[in-house]
Chain A
Amino acid sequence: MQKKVPYLFVLTGTIIVLFFMIIPLLTSLIPTFFSEGDLTFSQYTSFFKDSYNQSVVIRTIRISVIVMVICMLLGIPTSYFIAGVDKKWKGLLMAMTLFPLLTNSVIRSFAWINILGKNGIINSVLLKSHIIEQPLNLLYSEFAIIIGSVYLFLPTMIMTLIGVMESIEPEMLEAAETLGASPFVAFRKIILPLSIPGAIVGSTLVFTGTLTAYTTPQLLGGNQKMVLSTLLYQKANTLGDWTQASILSFIMIFITVLVMQGLNWLAKKVDRRVDQHA
């Protein structure tokens, strides 16, 4: 067969991705590095001088970190539990984890509007039991974004970790326990270190997912608690400020790549340490 054909396929795809992804990105982002024809970061320095912009960047990162930590704390025990049950139950539990993952993020955030809203469950329960007299403002807060994002990304963390948990041999735990370790100590000394490389991979997905999510912060944080993605949409669509939107785009990509590289590096390092111990 002609040698050129395989290249032809790859090239076609390359041209499509270049033309519809890379070039549009560059044409939007490159102008943010120029000011009156000079190559400069001045647009970025003035962006970061604005205290409102600062607060949005910091809030976005803070929310992403908190969500990542909560997902890890809840995801490690849950995936450990799922990996340990009988085959029949495991299928069901995995299907139950996948179901929210395959359900639209609008629906999943809508569920939390029903719970946290002024007329939501929490408020009506508290009002009826006379604990409070005025409904609480739970919605449009950082707390709401955090809980909605945990809800969104916890299944991702669990699915990433199940495979890792399954590969841990149960004999190791038994050995630890026959040697006198309590279940908790056995967990801390065996399961936890072995699951960390997987947890880092999961954390990358959760962190970058939370950082770039649009629907949940839009519905649960609104205009009061802006994050990078909602601010980007507002700048571009409501205010028509294309320059600021492009700056925000670059900042989002920059943080995403940075965190991915950082966590990948960490995962590799931890992996090597676990290998040495084994």
Chain B
Amino acid sequence: MRKQKGMTIIAIFVFLFLFLPLLLIIITSFGTESAIKFPIKGFTLDWYLNVFQTESFISGFKLSLTIGVLATLLALLIGVPISYVLNRYKITGKSQFKSFFLSPTIIPGIVVGYVLFQWIVIKLGFSVFIGLLIGHFLISLPYIIRVVGSSLEKMDVSVEEAAWTLGCTRQKAFIKIVLPNISSGIFASFMLAFVNSFNNVPVSMFLSGPGVNMLPTSILSFMEYNYDPTVSALSVIIMLLTVVMMVIIEKTLGLASIS
């Protein structure tokens, strides 16, 4: 394809636009002044130390990790069989079921959080934790169904049929043949759903309580009262985790598989 000057200039501008703000966070996380300033004066790692001494960040991180993993596993447990059935069986109302299971994506996150709070916490009297778990399950399910569904579509059905003719029951063929074949799709969907849950703010906004705060919401409430580089330092740590995760995905599946 021939290079076109105008396009190249816009593309360079866009990449600068995408990266300079993040670079700025990285630089300000090392500044010695107690308010975020640029250019920075001096160099310190104190703000990083401060992150690990801020109780709400530690507990927020633990809760986000717990909810993210549990909700995503739950979504896998429910979602993978559904994807399989919707892909391989002739059942009535197939496309209706498909759009039904993707429907949580149409509902705005803040609305999901709001109605779940009303229903689970106020009407049914369950804990906020259960509300968070269900909310994050609901936003993970569409990812699982979509990504696992597309890897089931790509898989050669005849491999499965060969297993049946050789005497495997359908369940056995599913466990021995299908699951290993779509494992990378399952892994990708898990990663995507987990990241999405870990980063999600609106669903968690209503579902917080004393001692129950997800990491993003604890950052938000920290920012209400502080404007020091602690948040910059925490952001750098989270960005590093993102890089690590991207490298893992690249090494196992290739980043192209999640786009």
Contacts and interface: CB of A to CB of B under 8 A. Distances in A.
Interface stretch (A4-12, A43-51, A195-203, A269-277): A4-12
Contact of B216 (A24, A106, A119): A106
Interface string A53-74: 0000000000000000000001
A132 interface: no
Given A10-B82, A184-B6, A107 B115 contact: no
Contact of B108 (A24, A28, A102, A212): A212
A80 B6 CA distance: 11
Interface string B229-244: 0011001001100110
A107 B18 contact: no
Contacts, number: 242
A81 interface: yes
B242 A103 contact: yes
Contacts of A102: 195, 199, 242, 245-246
B18 A100 contact: yes
B25 A17 contact: no
A145 interface: no
A141 interface: no
| Interface size classification for chain B | 35 or more
A221 to B, nearest CB: 14
Interface string B58-69: 000000000000
A237 interface: yes
Interface string B1-45: 111111110110111011101101100100000011110000000
B206 interface: yes
Contact of A99 (B28, B35, B223, B246): B246
Contact of A98 (B7, B84, B108, B246): B246
A177 B3 CA distance: 12
Contact of B119 (A6, A16, A24, A154): A24
B202 A6 contact: no
A98 B13 CA distance: 17
Interface string B61-95: 00000000000000000110110111001010000
Interface of B: 1-8, 10-11, 13-15, 17-19, 21-22, 24-25, 28, 35-38, 78-79, 81-82, 84-86, 89, 91, 97, 100-101, 103-104, 106-112, 114-116, 118-120, 123, 134, 137-138, 141, 169-171, 195, 198-199, 201-202, 205-206, 216, 219-220, 223, 231-232, 235, 238-239, 242-243, 245-246, 250, 255-256, 258-259
7 contacts: A17-B141, A21-B103, A23-B119, A102-B245, A110-B219, A215-B220, A256-B108
